[in-house]
Amino acid sequence: MRIIVIGASHAGIAFTDAMRRNGFTGALTLIDRLDGVPLERPPLSKAFLAADPEDDGRFVLRKPDWFASNDIELIGGCDVTSVDPESRLVRAGDGRVHAYDRLVLATGATPRRLAGTEGLSGVFELRHPGDASRLRAAADQAGSVVVVGGGYIGLEVAATLAKSGKKVTIVEAAPRLLARVASPPISDFFAHLHSDAGSRVITGAALASVNSEGGAVRGVTLEDGQQLAADMLVVGIGVVPEMSLAMAAGAETDNGILVDDGMETTVAGIHAIGDSALRRGSPHGLRIESVHNAQDSAERAAAAIAGHEPPADQAPWFWSEQFDVRLQSAGIVPAAGDTVRHVQRAGKREGGFSVWSYADDGLRAVEAVRDPAGYMLGKNCLEKGLSPTPAEAGDPAFDLKAFVAAK
């Protein structure tokens, strides 16, 4: 059997790794339009941006010899342009044709572009290592930066650039930072963290225009008339799942390539994993963009192809690093609603705390700031289906460790 994987990043590589661990001895080929040894994505908004370009090798997803020693063919610099599910062939932009028995789409997602920035220099979206290298080089020459979008990636870039002495302004359209993904107490915490570091945080602000001079960005004007000058603009306003190959192959899509519990699409022999896939039976009904989801969906597809039991469902987890703060989050924070409550619990370390989010009196998510113990307890509760009452979670005297151990 020959398996072709399109996309050699977190999901695609985790899939090939899982297949070999499952004892698969057939041909495994990873194809990516990017050249070179694949790099990790999370550091691109954090340590990579602050690192010396000479040290980029420390961010590799797998050591260069890992591919050959696992008998995995890695074809870089190769853009796959079409899939023919009838004859089970993929075609690349360079004219090469590859035959497959199973195809795995690990094509990820593409950042949304900010209207009005087409053709301007000094505007940066961040998804791939090349984007991060360009951003890093431009930041070297820049004094001031406007970050459009107060989601995790925008905030991480803002923190890294503020730490290196740039004048940073964060502009977010929603009434609070991280509005789509975090609880209000966590949004408040990060808004203060950035302001205390000297950055300006503007929420509930719509952009009226992007200002430029001679083809280079010079800043933005907000709808209330405020002008924010900047040498560069970093745009972090979300991503769109990369579904073009799946759609051309006739697979059903929604806000992601629709897959079953074994990550198989509606076209026989084609699977989809990672950021591009949306699992129909997902307990959360959401398309999740995270390293954990990339790994979990890869394991799930590999188990299905090998005929093994699927891995147990885990609570989705995520982390973020901004300044000296590490946030860890498990579960899905519920959107605001009548039955939604957020309870804060002090952590053991100085400045550490966790936020326990409830909907209909059931625990849905735990976000922990400088509090790995609180995070682990919350994750355990979510995975075991345990729900301390909001009063218990908020009571520092309540022994959560004993509560989890007793069940």
Ligand X SMILES: Cc1cc2nc3c(=O)[nH]c(=O)nc-3n(C[C@H](O)[C@H](O)[C@H](O)COP(=O)(O)OP(=O)(O)OC[C@H]3O[C@@H](n4cnc5c(N)ncnc54)[C@H](O)[C@@H]3O)c2cc1C
Work out how close the CB of 126 gets to ligand X at its nearest, in angstroms, rounded to a whole number: 5
**Which amino acid would we find at residue 406?**
A
Is the Cβ of residue 110 or residue 221 nearer to ligand X in the bound state?
110
Q: How far is the CB of 68 from ligand X (least distance, A)?
A: 20
Nearer to ligand X, 275 or 299 (CB): 275
Our CB check for ligand X shows the closer of 19 and 404 to be 19
CB of residue 64 to ligand X, shortest distance in Å: 16
Cβ of residue 297: shortest distance to ligand X, in angstroms?
8
Task: Name the residue nearer to ligand X (CB basis): 46 or 342.
Answer: 46
Where on the chain is the footprint of ligand X (CB under 6 A)? 6-12, 31-34, 41-42, 44-45, 79-80, 106-109, 126-127, 153, 242, 245, 274-276, 289-292, 294, 318-320
Q: Which is nearer to ligand X, 343 or 366 (CB)?
A: 366
What's the per-residue H, E or C state across the chain?
CEEEEECCCHHHHHHHHHHHHCCCCCEEEEECCCCCCCECCHHHHCHHHHCCHHHHHHHECCCHHHHHHCCEEEECCCCEEEEECCCCEEEECCCCEEECCEEEECCCEEECCCCCCCCCECEEECCCHHHHHHHHHHHHHCCEEEEECCCHHHHHHHHHHHHCCCEEEEECCCCCCCCCCCCHHHHHHHHHHHHHCCCEEECCCCEEEEEEECCEEEEEEECCCCEEECCEEEECCCEEECCHHHHHCCCCEECEEEECCCCECCCCCEEECHHHEEECCCCCCCCCCCHHHHHHHHHHHHHHHHCCCCCCCCCCEEEEEECCEEEEEEECCCCCCCCCEEEEEECCCCCCEEEEEEECCEEEEEEEECCHHHHHHHHHHHHHCCCCCHHHHHCCCCCHHHHHHHC
CB of 211 to ligand X, least distance (A): 26
Nearer to ligand X, 36 or 311 (CB): 36
For the CB of residue 362, give the shortest distance to ligand X in the complex, in Å: 24
Minimum distance from residue 41 beta carbon to ligand X (Å): 3
Rounded Cα–Cα distance for residues 270 and 371 (Å)? 41
Residue 16 CA to residue 26 CA, distance in Å, equals: 11
Nearer to ligand X among residue 5 and residue 393 (C-beta): 5
CB of residue 111 to ligand X, shortest distance in Å: 8
Least distance in Å: CB of 402 to ligand X? 30
Half-sphere exposure of 308 (CA within 13 A, CB side): 15
Q: Which is nearer to ligand X, 257 or 393 (CB)?
A: 257
C-beta of 220 vs 272, nearer to ligand X: 272
Q: What backbone torsions phi and psi does residue 116 show, to the nearest 5 degrees? A: 90, 0
